[in-house]
Amino acid sequence: MKTKLILLMTVVTTALVANPLLSRYKTPHQTIPFNEIKNEHYLPAFKQAMTVHLAEIEKIVNNKQKPTFENTIIALENAGGLLDQVGAPFYNLMSSETSDELQAIAEQLSPLMTEHSNSIRLNEKLFERVKAVYEQRDQLKLTAEQATLLKNTYDGFANNGANLSPADKELYRQLSKELSLLTLQFGQNVLKETNQWNLVIDDENLLAGLPQDVKEMLAMNAKRTGKKGWMLDLKATTYVPFMKHAENRDLRRELYMAYTTRNMRGGEYDNREIIAKIANTRLKIANLLGHKSYADQVLVRRMAENKENVYKLLNDLLAAYRPAAEAEYAEVQKYADSKGAYFTVQSWDWSFYAEKLKDEKYAVNDEMLKPYFELERVKKGVFGLATRLWGLQFVKNENIQKYHPEVDVYEVKDKQGKFLSVLYTDFHPRDSKRPGAWMSEFKGQFIEKGKDSRPHITIVMNFTRPTDSKPALLTFDELTTFLHEFGHALHGMMTRCTYESLSGTNVYRDFVELPSQIMENWASEKAFLDEFAVHYETGEPIPAELIRKIKDSENFNTGNFCLRQLSFGLLDMAWHTLEQPFTGDVMKMEYEAMEPARVLPLVSDAGMSPTFSHIFAGGYAAGYYSYKWAEVLDADAYSVFAEKGIYDRATADSFAEHILQRGGTEHPMVLYKRFRGQEPAIDALLKRNGIR
């Protein structure tokens, strides 16, 4: 719950009110006035908002009344509204529309924000009040949501140094500042080195095998930089189709090595030393807080609960899927041999031969499917799925300001026609945007004095751009990615909680992927595809035979895909279960950690850790396993839809009521069992993947 801006304006000076970030937004739904905000507004706005926040904290601390849930826990929940308002555009744009100037501001801001957070979390008098309320929790007759807020508030202090000695608190302050700067630098380095590399091809014969629209995209890449020919870069929209289709093996290897050696070539963007520093700083913080490893610290607030349960999941899946992965590799090698390959299939060969084998076995490939997945129609299909399941309506609003011309903004309404959320969509790659796909929020949801303040949600992707001759046509993987991020968006948009810190996606990390991953299941359902998938030129609906082939090929190479995810989970856990400071070779550590899940030959010069932003610059440290954890949940949950009908309203309403609307108000297993009636089992996932 982060309002109070009218009251806060009384403490903001007249000069600073001119800063749009410090004003109450007079825009539709109080959306961010992007057109009015300039980079020079951010730093002074952050400083002023921090001053206001500290004044709010002092008011709580100096309250002469006995600490209560209302005057301490709720007051803390409500504090910092102005700071949230200032931070929302800044931190989102750092990912989706960054610049050298914004990154320089971030470097100045990082230690200031860390110190600000520490000054609150390490405030002894404030913690005394929180602790006083927490210790009487059994007598307070709190609702489940209130009890969760109280526990989270107490844990937020206890897990961030509040119980430390004065000397250790000072050490904690220093370590947390260092960690903040290190993770920021890691992410910036990845973006800069990714953008730095390109290769111009002037001989079209070297591009043999590439679909025409991919070549058009590469020609556009070159044209944008004033060059002739075709330009390769390291964005996924180039890398993925090139590795699948390019016949020139030397070029595939060159692109593969460029992609997998980012940030480990020496020079200013090399992340290997930073990785060791991040891992060791996290270990120091964990030790300071009484934990043997960083994973021990993190997993206390996860469904998995401890590292033993994480490794059990990873090892159980490894045992189940490795035989399938080995058989798949052998099949691809045999196929490559049949096509005249005189070499062992390497990582830069895998996608090429696997794609050709898939096409030969199932007569289906991206180029056959893309004409049916024109982006504008896919949007209608994905939005329409939410309409079928929950009655949601999406209305584009051109009057809501946006941070980039390519962004679209929608007002989302519920089945009663009431305003539910603002949704921003941003689909195509830019040099100013980090790789990958994600969902975030510009404003969270909360209820105050009976009024439901609705959220502002954003989903950001890096999908194939339109070319001079074709609209944006998505691959099947891009369709599923859209559904995945849209699932996160539904979690954020449909939430109905009292407290902002518990609403939407503010849930355990290994639960947050359930709403996203369950939505991927619709991607291959005929009834769903029939709603929108028509050929962009002819208007003909996608043939039933083609949908059948999609379904038949769903589990193609599923063993290798699973082992790839498991290898990332094992790598993450290796870095974060360290109990002694790391002093070895970063890449040797990586190779040993990932070895149990390796099927393809090792490429000793390539690596994952130096670009593994999920764990070294994002929120997935000691948590990458959560994708597989949530996959068990989503397979189990979707089995209810599969049984009762993929558009069954009763099942959809139950999923909304117990999962999408409840945020983190109760333990996720409690919420899941209310929907499912039982705890999840791994069997549904194994059955879906054809392993059992």
Q: Catalytic one among 411, 485, 500, 513?
A: 485
Q: Angle formed by the axes of helices 626-644 and 307-338, to 10°?
A: 80
Q: Under a CB-based contact definition with an 8 Å cutoff, are residues 232 and 199 in contact?
A: yes
Q: Range(s) for CATH 1.10.1370.40 in the chain?
A: 5-163, 370-542
Query: pLDDT confidence of 423, banded at 50, 70, 90?
Result: very high
Domain 370-542 fold: Neurolysin; domain 3 (1.10.1370)
Q: What's the pLDDT tens digit per position in 342-380?
A: 999 999 999 999 999 999 999 999 999 999 999 999 999
Q: What's the pLDDT tens digit per position in 214-242?
A: 999 999 999 999 999 999 999 999 999 99
Query: pLDDT confidence of 486, banded at 50, 70, 90?
Result: very high
Q: Under a CB-based contact definition with an 8 Å cutoff, are residues 294 and 286 in contact?
A: yes
Residue 17 pLDDT greater than 80, yes or no: no
Q: What's the pLDDT tens digit per position in 31-50?
A: 999 999 999 999 999 999 99
Mean pLDDT to the nearest integer, 513-540: 97
pTM (2 decimals)?
A: 0.94
Query: pLDDT confidence of 583, banded at 50, 70, 90?
Result: very high
Give phi and psi for 396, each to the nearest 5. Answer: -65, 135
d(CA 690, CA 10): 63
- Write out the E strands in 455-552: 456-460
State residue 681's pLDDT score: 86
Mean pLDDT to the nearest integer, 581-588: 97
State residue 1's pLDDT score: 42
Annotated catalytic residue 500: no
Do the bridges between strand 456-460 and strand 408-413 make them parallel or antiparallel, or are there none, so unpaired?
Answer: unpaired
Q: What's the pLDDT tens digit per position in 587-639?
A: 999 999 999 999 999 999 999 999 999 999 999 999 999 999 999 999 999 99
d(CA 573, CA 614): 13
State residue 13's pLDDT score: 44
Question: CA-CA distances (angstroms) from residue 159 to 122, 171, 187, 296?
Answer: 11, 15, 25, 12
Domain 5-163 fold: Neurolysin; domain 3 (1.10.1370)
Residue 6 pLDDT greater than 70, yes or no: no
